[in-house]
Each structure stands twice: as C-alpha cells, then as structure tokens.
Amino acid sequence: MKNFYIETFGCQMNAHDSEKVIGTLIGEGYSQVPTPEEAQLVLYNTCSIRDKAEQKVFNRLQQFKRNHKDKKIVLLGCVAQQEGERVFERAPFVSMVCGSASYNQLPAMLVQLETGNKRVTGLSLDTEDTFDTPLTRRENPHRAYITIIEGCDKSCAYCVVPFTRGPERSRTSTSVLDEARRLADAGYSEIQLLGQNVNSYRDPSPTGWDFAQLLDAVGRVEGIRRVRFTTSHPRDFVKPIIDAIDENPNLCNHVHLPVQSGSTRVLDAMRRLYTRDQYMRRIEWMKAARRDIAITTDIIVGFPGETESDFEETLSLLREVEFDALFGFKYSRRPNTPALALDDQIPEEEKTRRLQFVLDMQREIQLRRHASYVGRVEECLVEGFNKATGQWIGRTSQHKTLNFLRPASADDLLGQYVDVRVTRAGANSLVGECVN
C-alpha cells in the first residue's frame, strides 16, 4: 500500500488545493497517514507571501537532511513555483516540485516519481485550465470551499502571487453551481467561494455572469444557508455585490476588503489601482446597506518610502472605518516583485513599531465595537466544543466567534444553527447564552 503525509502552509486557497491534492492521491491508490515518519511520500504545500512563511518550509526540509532515505519528498504550491528547479540545489533530497497551475498534471507526475525520476517538475504557468476534481477530501464537515477563480491578473508591487499562481482563470458558473448542489446534498450548509480576487470573476460560458450574479445564485442553492467569499480587491468591488447581500439573507454579512494603506501616495506606489477616496466610497456603500455588514481588512506597514505622515493616514483610515478585524503585516521583500527595486526601505524596528501601533489601536476599536453587541441575539453555526471551558464555539454570519454555554443539555450541537444572546464581549470574540 502506498501512503503519504501532507502539511499545508498559507492561505485558504492553499488549504483547499491540499484537499484536492489529497483527493487526487487517494484516487491514485495512496492512503493518508498522520505523521511524516510513517509516510513514503511527504508533501509540503508551501506559501511564499512573506519571507517568514518561506523560511518555515526550508526549516521543515532541514529536518529531512539526514532522515529521508526511504522517503520521497515533494514541494507543492507557491515556494515550489517561485524557486522552481533551484529547490533541487538547495534541498537535493526533494524529488518533485510542482506549482498550483500544474496540479491537474499530478497523476502523470506521480507515475514519473514512482518510476524513480528524481527531478520531477510541474512549473508551467501557461495554463487555461483550473484544477477541477470531484475527488476532493474536505476537512470541515459543515463548511466547504469552492474555487471560482484561480490566479491573479493584478500586479501589486509587493506581491508574489501573480508569479506563483499565474494568470486569472474563472470556472464556469455551471460547474460552480453543480459543486454547490453536490455539497448541499452531502450535508454542507456553508460555502466559501475562493479566489485571489473573486470580484474579477467572469463566467467563461455564454451566460457571462459576473461575481455578484454568481454569488447570488450560490446563495439560492437549496440547503445552503451561508455563503462567504474571499478575497476581494477594492478596484473590482462593485455596488451590486452589496445589493446581493442586502437582498439574499443566505449571503453572510461580512466582507474582507484589504486596503493595505490609507495613503493614496503609498497605494499608488503599491500599484493598487485605487485611491483612499475610492476605497472609502466602497466602505460607505457597506455602511449604508440595510444589513449590518462586518468589514475586515489587511494592512501592510513599512512599504518602501512610507513616511510618518503616510502612516498617519493609515491610522486615520482605521479610525474612520472602524474595522471589525484587521490582519496587519510588516512589508516583506519578495523575489521577482516590482517593489524589490525601490529604494528607501523602512528599518525593521520602525516597521515593528508601526505594526504594534496599528494592532494596539485596532484592539481598542474592536473592544468598543464588540461592547455594543451585548444583548444582541445572533445566529451561530456551531463549529466546536471547548472541553476546558464547557463552551460551544459558534460562528456568526459576520464571522465573529461567539462562545456560549447551553446549560441543561448534552445534545450534540455541532453543525447546527442556534440563536445566542451575547452577554460579554472581548476584543477578539464574544460570549453568550443559547436562547433556543
């Protein structure tokens, strides 16, 4: 019996790619094992978004320096695509590198690997295909990912993704809806639509749907109660998306809209293709919506040339918007990217200071915002149970964690939807009591 171990780094796209890779491997007669020690085939699905993520992978590979004799080691994903055949020099015991645009060639590549080829590669970005496979081994029993668009056609000056995931390819709306129906039949009630930039989705079939139309249609699939999507690009984020959320209660009232910086000058240097004002217009649409839409974002501090006054503009944007949550990052220099050529790098200590300032400020904002939730009743999908605290872990439509007690019942609530009254609020989660 052939077996494999896989470890995944990086974003939800990568997590879902791994689910498809696992399905493909099982389809080829492999079985999955829980540790690399017992595996014949060890796969790392890698991320290179920041230097730290890439280092993690090479640290992992170091562990195999001596102890790899009876194993074949495979690098998948963004580091594989970015480093290509250089991986074989850096880590000679790796015998296959394959980027995400080549995953539909995996079965043939596995045959090469099995027949003893020590340098198998799948590095072409020249593809029009998406990686569609019915053989997806899904990890979460309630929430399922569906890829609607792969790759990215933007060229943000700091970002490796256009180099690691290739050009944009959208799936047909028919295949997306078929998958959503199959998932609903299999008992999934929540769908998360995935893409590097879901807003530029364009149905390649004659239907020609845009993202708002696809989103609405997925939200109308029978049995689906929640639809989320990630990630959005402000430039392609149009009003009809908000209208769809307003009209279709199955679409979750949460939008992740990465702004990166509050300074139009920095946004221009980042090649983000929008100004601060244009971003703020999208925020106004959301705040004017009938539904209470939670808004989250990503921020990069210390992009080359970011002055103290640019940074102040980011802080003022955060105060103006009052995001529900924020992911903050220090700018990290990445291979191949246009920003590599920029002078005026910001010193590491200064980046650290700016990031800490952002995070501290955001924490205050979240504490204040969340305090206003006390007394509200929120519908939660129950995602887990915390034995230590005796609390169920729920997720609201706005994607907030709401932990709650349900005294006098030992029922298994996992996967169910329950109403919870919020009784306490912290910066990162809410606490409440089940009311039904």
| Cα 157 from Cα 169, distance rounded (Å) | 21
Site string for ligand SF4, 45-64 (x = CB under 6 A): --xxx---------------
Rounded alpha-carbon distances, angstroms, from residue 216 to 20, 44, 168, 219, 360: 25, 35, 22, 5, 37
Rounded alpha-carbon distances, angstroms, from residue 36 to 14, 15, 61, 181, 362: 19, 18, 11, 35, 39
Of 16 and 354, the one with the shorter C-beta distance to ligand SF4 is: 16
Q: Is 304 in the site for ligand SF4 (CB under 6 A)?
A: no
Q: Which of 231, 286, 210, 222 is nearest to 250 (CA)?
A: 222
Interaction site with ligand 5AD (CB under 6 A): 49-50, 158-159, 258, 260, 298, 300, 329, 331-332, 334
Choose the stretch contacting ligand SF4; rule: CB under 6 A; options: 42-50, 66-74, 201-209, 287-295. 42-50
Which of ligand 5AD, ligand SF4, none interacts with 74 (beta carbon under 5 to 8 A by kind)? none
Q: Is 160 in the site for ligand SF4 (CB under 6 A)?
A: yes
Residue selected from 10, 122, 166, 195 as contacting ligand SF4 according to rule CB under 6 A: 10
- Name the token pair of 32: 């999955």
| Cα 237 from Cα 122, distance rounded (Å) | 33
Q: Give the shortest CB-336-to-ligand 5AD separation in angstroms.
A: 11
Q: Give the shortest CB-77-to-ligand SF4 separation in angstroms.
A: 6
How many residues are there in the chain?
A: 436
Which of ligand 5AD, ligand SF4, none interacts with 301 (beta carbon under 5 to 8 A by kind)? none
| Cα 203 from Cα 173, distance rounded (Å) | 6
Note if the bond before 231 is cis, omega within 30 degrees: yes
Position closest to ligand 5AD via CB: 298
Which of ligand 5AD, ligand SF4, none interacts with 91 (beta carbon under 5 to 8 A by kind)? none
Report helix, strand or coil for 326.
strand
- Name the token pair of 95: 């015998």
- Name the token pair of 53: 């993520």
Q: Give the shortest CB-12-to-ligand SF4 separation in angstroms.
A: 8
Of 259 and 418, the one with the shorter C-beta distance to ligand 5AD is: 259
List interacting residues with ligand SF4 (CB under 6 A): 10-11, 13-14, 47-49, 77-78, 160-161, 164-165
